[in-house]
Amino acid sequence: MDITIRAVRPEEHDTLAEVTAQAYLGDGLLDFGESDEYLIDLRDVARRAAEAEVLVAVGEDERVLGGVTFVARGGGPWADLARDGEAEFRMLAVARDARRRGAGEALVRACVERARAVEGCRRLVLSSQASMRAAHRIYERLGFVRTPERDWQPFPGVTLFTYGLPL
């Protein structure tokens, strides 16, 4: 499958919103299902694109296969983990019918390239749920290492694993 990674277009915001929401819901990653408040952030692609960089993976037919939010320079409203000298990516999601075709890895590689292009950026970081094993395999294959000392809880009972890639 030929996959292109590029910035999300305004006319794709709704599509990426649903791809992301359905990936998180379908994988059981939201403790409160359709009532989970995190769905608001997952679906607010327009705000993410205005305040960070949102990338999409598209097929030859320009169908949105997945997306990710990239945050340069440890800060801003979309950075959960990044510190000074770090970039972060989050909300990596691929449509269920597009998985195992390279879209997720292509999105992660694009984030690595962007982080390397940011002056003064020394590390790319991310948070991930323990159950996201397929994503963990991608991260580890690309050289990310677990940073358990930075694991954190967005709310009690949910621990997010962290990874970092020295640049």
Q: Give residue 91's pLDDT.
A: 97
Residue extents of the structural domains in the chain: 4-166
What gap in Å lies between CA 94 and CA 104, rounded to an integer?
6
Q: Give residue 74's pLDDT.
A: 66
Residues 99-125: tens digit of each pLDDT: 999 999 999 999 999 999 999 999 999
The tokens of 153 are what?
Answer: 């809880």
Statement: 4-166 belongs to CATH 2.60.40.10: no
Packing angle, helices 103-117 and 133-141, rounded to 10: 50
Residues 3-61: tens digit of each pLDDT: 999 999 999 999 999 999 999 999 888 877 888 889 999 999 999 999 999 999 999 99
